[in-house]
Each structure stands twice: as C-alpha cells, then as structure tokens.
A and B are shown apart, each in its own frame.
Chain A
Amino acid sequence: MKRWIAFLSIFAKDMRAYYLKPPNVSWGIIFPLAWTGMFFIRSGTGLENILELLPGVVTISILFGTTSLLSVTLTFERRNRSFERLLLAPISLELLMLAKTSGAILFGIVNAFIPVVIAAFLADMSGIAWSLFVPAIILIGIVSTFLGLFISVSASEVFEAQTFSNFFRFPMIFLCGLFFPVMSLPIFIRPLSFILPVTYGVDILHGAVNGEHILSFTLDFIILGAFCAVLFLLSLRNVKRRWIV
C-alpha cells in the first residue's frame, strides 16, 4: 500500500506540474488538430478518406505527446537534482520509473483520441475494430513513452534530449507506415521500418481501421510488447549505470 501511495503521488505530481499545465494542454490539442488538418488538405481527397489518415495522425499525436515532455522533464529533474529525492525513496527503481512514465503514457493516449473524436464528426467509424484499435493505442503510448525514457536517460542536458528525440521521431513519421505504406518504401529502407517499434502499432491501427495490415495482429502485439519490455529494461540499466555512479 505504501508503495502505491508513492506511485500515485509521483504520477499526480507529474500530471499537475507538467502535463496539465495550460501550454501543454493546448499543445496536446493543437498539435493533433494541426496534423489532421495538414494531412487532410494535403491528401486532396474527400471526407470519406479521413479514415485512411486516422492511424497515422493518431500515432503521430501519441509519439509527440509522450516523448516531448518526458524527455525534457526527466533530464530537467536530474539536472536540478530533484530526481535524487525519488532515488532516495524506499521504492524500487522499476516502480519509480513506471510512476514517472505513467503520466506521459496517459497524456499520449488522451492526445490520440483527439483526432478520433474529430474523425467521429466527419466520417462513419462503425467499421473500426475497437477491440484492436484501443489496445494498439495503449501499446503505442507505452512503447513511445519508453522510447522517450530511453532517450532521456541517455542524455545529460535538456537540449540533448530534445535533439536526440527528434532524431528518432521524425524518421519514424516516414519509415513506420504512418502515411506511406511500409511496403511502398524502397526495399533497402524497409529493414529500418521493422526495427522501429511504431511500425507494428501502426500496422494494427491500419488493420483495425481499414482492414489492411502486413503482419498478423498477434505477432504485432507480441513484438510491440517485447519492444516495451526491452526499452524499459534498457532504460533501467542506463539509470543504474549513468545516474547512480
């Protein structure tokens, strides 16, 4: 019980101090709106095609929603030594890092549903397989957050974390099948797509929305889950190695 009081307090503190701040809330709403509008206008198609864009816009909203703040706040807390407070608390490092990431995961998931709500007013969404769509959003939220965690524990300065996260995020927009099918990419680039976790989440979303997917859903979920575990464990190892010296 004591551990869960600590967990919930870290989660609530981060939500209040970082994620629910007006600039971040407005960023969380405006960013997915801007992406939806941009791709909708750029595609030059009618409203009926909005569902084709939905998996990409949802994913980009999660990706930027989760990684933008987490990488900055963690690096900042480490710089001003407030992260030491958490390291001194009698909770395991695993639970501590889960608490630190849960706010970002929730923020990413909420961001994901903004384009979904917009699409609900513009298109018929009765064909979406929600039992695949929702778990995929949650898993993309988790894997993106853990990617952000991995980045932030590898950086020493806030600007390093930001640069490092852009290094991952922008290529993923083009490589992970968000707006361009992976199979349409040049054959020598495709292996890169399959080493990026987001590809598997987007594949599920495309399958859930449009019925088009490359791999079986089971395999997509397993690989996404494995990426979550590996990124989390690597981040923990980096915290122990780099932050407890």
Chain B
Amino acid sequence: MYQIQKDRTVKSDNSPAINVANLTKKYGEVVAVNDISFQVGNGELFGFLGPNGAGKTTTINLLTGLARLDAGTIKIGGIDCTGNPKAAQHLVGTVPDESNLYPELTGFENLCFCAALYGIRKSERQQRAQELLDIFGLTDAAHRKFAGYSKGMKRKLTFAAGIIHQPPILFLDEPTTGIDVGSARQVRKIIADLHRKGTTIFLTTHYIEEAERLCERIAFIVKGKIVKIDGTNELLQPVKGKNILILSVSNSEPDVTKGMASSFPQYRFEPAAPNQILVESPEPVNIGPLTRFLEERGIQVTEARRHLPSLEDVFVQVTGIEAELMRKDKERAGGGGNQ
C-alpha cells in the first residue's frame, strides 16, 4: 500500500504547517485576496469554503509560489516563503483545479515524470507510479496517452501526480469538481486516508457537505476575505440540537404562518420556499397538531420532511449566500460537479 512518508523535512519545532498573516493580492483594481490570516496545524485537514471567485485558487497560487503576493507573510513547514516561494516547495504537493499534466505522455509516464521533478530515482518512481495507478483505478489506462483520458480520469491522475512525491503538506484545489459520483467518493476516501496517515491538507471546495464531511477546521471566504474560521464542530454548534421540519403546503401566505405562530408559540415559523413552511424548535416537532391545524383551514399538507441542520445552514447564515446558488454558479463556470 502506498505510504505517506510523514515529516521528512518539516521543521521539528511546533510551527504550524501553514502560517499566513495579512495576505493580500490585487489584480489591478480587483482585490482577489484581502488581508487574510490563518494557520493550519501539522496533520490538520483545513477547508477553505467559498463561492466561485472568492479567492480560493488565488490563495493556493500564492501559497505554492504560482502567484506573487502584494502584502503579508507566508510560512510553510516553518520556512519563511514570503520572499522566496521556492524555499518550501520540496514539502508541498499541489492538485490544481484543472488537470495540468502532459497530453502527449501516457498516465504512467506523467506520474514518473512528476516524481522525477522531486529527484526520485527511476526504480522508486516507477514503483510509486504503479501503486498510485492501482489505487486510483487507472491501471488499465496506464499506457494510454493522457490526452485520451476522460475528465474524471484526468482529475484522478492529476491527484496522483500531486502526491507521488509523498508530500507532508498537500494543497487540493476543488479536488472533486467536475467528476462523477463514484470518482468523487473515491477521491474523498483517498483524502481521508492521506489525512489519517498524517498529511497536512489544505482543501478548497465549494461543496459544503464535502467540507463538513472531511475538514477539521473550516474558513468561509467571500470576496477575498475570511468571514468565519473555526473548527467544524464549533461551526455546527449554533445549529446543533435544532429540530427543523419543512412542510410542503397548498398555501403558505404570511397570514397562515402568523396564525400558526400564535397557536403554537413553542415553535418558530417562516416561509422557506414557495408553498413551504419551515418549523424550528429546540424540542422535537409534533407533526400531528400542525397538519390538523392546516387542514382545518383548508390547506393541504403534501409533504412533511425533517431537516437535519448542517454546515450549509451555518454558511448561509454567516455569508448570506445560498449554497444551491453557489453550486450552480460553479457548474455554470464549467466545474461540472456531480456529487
């Protein structure tokens, strides 16, 4: 099994794996990243969650040396990379948001070449390439040209190329965007495995459920600014214990919700979507009296669905951005996104 060699060259003091202070990047008048600061601990899986154009990819480009910062400081593995982005590149693996391997090389050749860029000897790089092809289910396509791969296969090989040198710190930019459900699940499993073996992972995503499922800490980034940063459990705290019921009804006029609110003061009511009423309570919601109340007033209840509060609710509350809009926005921009 492919092993992650942990901590080969990371400084042995207690420096965080990634330490960013007051990072700013402008493109002309546009401030892509606006004075952001955060730390990622050694072995931590940290999520950067935000809509399209929030500054996620720019942040990764700044941290990996593909873009020049305008202000701030960056330390990777305890090494100050502010003036010299090359200083810590040996510690870092990057999986970009778009496949960037060589179309004229085969999958196997691409992996071997990427390993060679990190000075890995021939026999070892061939062995690692073969192992990764097996792990990602690409063995049959190993000797086919990368140009002929499907989108999902390209993403998986790009992922494999990012980890072939067994980096202690890994940057993943939208790793599951645009790939099919099975591949996305496989990629998430590999991310979880890498994390379990001690790799520090910086993950950007616009899939809230992916961030919730994988990350230990999450930062919400909107328009280049971090609007919230905390542990996933801490972020979920305000919505934990809430009981939410969504009623699909034939009429959800404001006077209906008003009437319900006066009859059931223990619950909070609000119109959710057209012909939907959201019922919220710290205690479990008793559906029977509610449906009877509505039916007595000639309103039909077509569906009653319990909603489990999630990070999505927190994200919407903090940023004001609807998660569904964010997903569609990304898909319009070409991200695909079949989860």
The residues of A with any CB-CB pair to B shorter than 8 Å are 1-3, 5-6, 8-10, 13, 17, 80-82, 84-93, 244-245
Contacts and interface: CB of A to CB of B under 8 A. Distances in A.
Contacts of A91: 117
A17 B116 contact: no
9 contacts: A9-B116, A9-B117, A10-B117, A13-B105, A17-B104, A82-B103, A86-B117, A88-B65, A92-B86
B89 A89 contact: yes
Given A8-B116, A89-B117, 15 more contacts: A2-B118, A5-B120, A6-B116, A6-B117, A9-B117, A13-B105, A80-B103, A82-B100, A82-B101, A82-B103, A84-B100, A88-B89, A244-B66, A245-B27, A245-B68
A244 to B, nearest CB: 6
Nearest to B122: A5
A8 B118 CA distance: 12
Nearest to B91: A90
B119 A88 contact: no
Contacts, number: 69
A88 B104 CA distance: 20
A17 B96 contact: no
B332 interface: no
Interface residues of B, number: 28
A11 B175 CA distance: 30
B64 interface: yes
A244 B84 CA distance: 13
A19 to B, nearest CB: 12
Contact of B118 (A10, A89, A92, A245): A89
Listed from nearest, the 6 A-B pairs whose CB atoms lie closest are A2-B119, A9-B116, A89-B117, A81-B100, A90-B90, A90-B89
Given A13-B105, A17-B104, A80-B100, A85 B117 contact: yes
B114 interface: yes
B102 interface: yes
Contact of A13 (B65, B102, B121): B102
Interface in B46-68: 64-68
A81 B119 contact: no
Contact of B68 (A5, A80, A92, A244): A244
A244 B67 contact: yes
Contacts of B66: 84, 87-88, 244
Interface string B116-143: 1111110000000000000000000000
A245 B94 CA distance: 18
B67 A90 contact: no
Contacts of A80: 100, 103
A208 to B, nearest CB: 39
Instruction: Select the residue from A6, A82, A86, A245 with max chain B CB neighbours within 10 A.
Output: A82
Contacts of B207: none
B98 interface: yes
Contacts of B101: 82, 85
Contact of B121 (A5, A81, A90): A5
B113 interface: yes
B250 to A, nearest CB: 53
Nearest to B64: A88
Nearest to A4: B119
A189 B161 CA distance: 53
A82 B98 CA distance: 10
